[in-house]
Amino acid sequence: RRARAGAQTSLHVPYGDGEGEKLDIYFPTEPSGTFPVLVYIHGGYWQCLSKDESGFAAPPLVSQGVAVVAVGYDTAPKGHMDAMVLQVRRSLAFLVQRYSGIRGVYLCGHSAGAHLAAMVLSTDWTEYGVAPDIKGAVLVSGVYNLEPILHTYVNNALNMSREVAQRNSPILCVTSAAPAAAACEVLVAVAQHDSPEFRRQSQEYGQALRAAGWSVSLLDLAGVDHFDIIEKLSEESYVLTQV
């Protein structure tokens, strides 16, 4: 509510025909002709949360001339993994086609949202007829290999097969950095108090990107856990906000 009260917004902007295919856009306080945009993809193990709770990061950014876009997608059990990945990719294509003033796209995702943002990095944009200028990605406490969750309760709602998990695992989809991608800086952030599996996957995915020629840095944040590592984006002085 604070974010919406303090910014010019366009809420529930449809990027497709599906019920969940909508964006919330928080425009910069003093928009010039062009502006960078931070695209935020929420977590919730692909089955809870929504774009409606995702505006918390907007206030410190819109005050600095950055637009913030919260992406909605169909969570499980209605949405399945292939569809969610496709929706997030389509939302980005829509965004850059609709708003010509965007100068540079920065992805930010948390947990399951970091997984979806990482899948965006492996997109073949020729299929979408656009070439988004993705300048950076901040991947926070993400899941980059879906196979370990196949036999956990998380997969009860997702109902993924091994094939679905493999083709939607960012660590198995790393593409060699094309010239455009080489200009994209990727920050893989993990919390001190994240579980060992989140920490391991973050390190391995960062290494895989670096080996493929991407510009990657790993940030291990002390004193935070899986949740407040992202919630603190509402604070202007927080290290991730500053980055």
**Domains identified in the chain and CATH numbers:** 9-241 (3.40.50.1820)
129 is written with which tokens? 């007829």
Instruction: Using the CB atoms, write b or e for 74-100: b if 16+ within 10 Å.
Output: bbbeebbbeebbebbbbbbbbbbeebe
Q: Of the listed 24, 42, 54, 194, which one is catalytic?
A: 194
Q: Look at residue 237 and tell me whether its pLDDT is greater than 70.
A: yes
Q: Which of 29, 26, 31 is nearest to 57 (CA)?
A: 26
Q: Look at residue 31 and tell me whether its pLDDT is greater than 80.
A: no
Active site residue 80: no
| In the chain, alpha helices (H) | 2-5, 58-62, 81-98, 112-121, 154-158, 162-167, 179-182, 196-211, 228-231, 239-242
Active site residue 226: yes
Q: Of the listed 42, 91, 110, 111, which one is catalytic?
A: 111
Verdict on whether the full-model pTM lies above 0.75: yes
In the structure, what pLDDT confidence band is assigned to residue 5 with cuts at 50, 70 and 90?
confident
Q: Look at residue 241 and tell me whether its pLDDT is greater than 80.
A: yes
Q: Of the listed 63, 122, 193, 226, which one is catalytic?
A: 226
> pLDDT (tens digit, 9 = 90+) per residue, 222-232?
999 999 999 99
Active site residue 17: no
